[in-house]
Each structure stands twice: as structure tokens, then as C-alpha cells.
Chain A
């Protein structure tokens, strides 16, 4: 099982770009990398997923280097409502598996 390591917390200001990096040194060949956002007392919500290179959607970008041992979630122009915990998740297969969330990164966006 690929273990993930992220910074415990990050601070930012409104309007800034935030980059959160996740380390997953023992990622397997078939593993996808998925990022989730969690607000207090709510279930985590899917943000973005990638396998390699760069993926972009309407809320974020995900950068994955060629060796895939890390990934970076990029949130452009954050707002106060982006204050949340962000988790990267690696692993799983088409029947599920043991999906272990790490500690996550608590992002605090200040005015």
C-alpha cells in the first residue's frame, strides 16, 4: 500500500495560488492519485484525479512528475471558502481495496 505524506498545515491569503504537495514514494504502477477536500463535519469531496503529467479541471490542477513519487495540487486564486483539509489518496483497484487517507493538509485562507 502506498503511504502518503503531506504538510500538516498551510496558510494563504485570498487571491493567491496554493500548491500542496503529496509524497508517495512507493506508488504502484497501476495506482491513480486522487485528491479530496473536506470541510468540518462533512464527508470528503472528490477534487481531481490523475495518473501522470498534468490534469486540470474547473477547480484545480494536478501536477505529477514522471517518476510519480509525488504530486502537487494547485488551487488558483483561493478564497475563504477554500479553507478545508485536503487529502491525497493513492491506491485501490477496480474492486476497491484498503483506501487509507493520510493526515491531510489543513489549509487556512485568510482575508
Chain B
């Protein structure tokens, strides 16, 4: 158990809909990362937050947005969903004073768009 909690574990929704994925980082971690992994593909970096502020951005679609709240949990919002958005979405967190790339992943949220 990494200590990172993601909900929901599985989600099935229709094209055009909007969903919200939630992540609770490890206790004490200030950084939250979001990654997308489609079937048989690598981990695509979406976005990173540090202590409530957006710190780094990857190839995140305009239809996607994220935020990190004062209690440090984060949400990834996916809207106008398309079939190609079906993927496993991972959240990861990292702590203070660490080397910078030791992050701990949650179990992921499986999104299926039909």
C-alpha cells in the first residue's frame, strides 16, 4: 500500500459526459502528479501540483483540468469525454525534501468511455 488513495477505482461513462477523479496523497506529501496510461501505452504526464499551486504541465488536453485543494487532495476533471479518453489514470505524490523523482503511485482509476 503506497498510501495514495484514488477514487473511484472503476468508472464507465458515455461520450460527451464529464467525470471527476479524486486523489488523496500520502500523509505529509505536498506534491501531486496525474498520469494517463492507455492500453499498452506508457505513462503520459498530465500535470503536477505543489502545495495547491500548479507547478508543471504536460500534454494535458484542454478538456481536462485539475486542482489541488487546501487539504492537499487533488481532483482531475475530464469533460466532453471521447472514446479515446478510456485509460487508467494514476495519481502519485511526493514529499518535502526528497530528491525530486521519488513519487508514490495510487492504484489508479479505470475510466471506460462508451
Q: Size of chain B's interface in residues, with CB distance under 8 A?
A: 33
Q: Are A99 and B45 in contact (CB under 8 A)?
A: yes
Interface residues of A in 89-106 (CB under 8 A from B): 89-104
Verify if B18 is at the interface (C-beta below 8 Å from A): no
Q: Size of chain A's interface in residues, with CB distance under 8 A?
A: 29
Interface residues of A in 30-77 (CB under 8 A from B): 30-32, 34, 41-46, 49, 51
Q: Which residues of A contact B57 (CB under 8 A)?
A: 98
How far is the CB of A55 from the nearest CB of chain B, in Å?
A: 12
How far is the CB of B11 from the nearest CB of chain A, in Å?
A: 15
How far is the CB of A11 from the nearest CB of chain B, in Å?
A: 18
* A→B interface (CB under 8 Å): 30-32, 34, 41-46, 49, 51, 87, 89-104
10 CB < 8 A contacts A-B: A32-B102, A41-B108, A44-B43, A46-B104, A92-B94, A96-B50, A97-B56, A98-B56, A101-B43, A103-B42
* B→A interface (CB under 8 Å): 2, 4, 30-31, 33, 35, 42-43, 45, 48, 50, 55-58, 88, 90, 92, 94, 96-108, 110
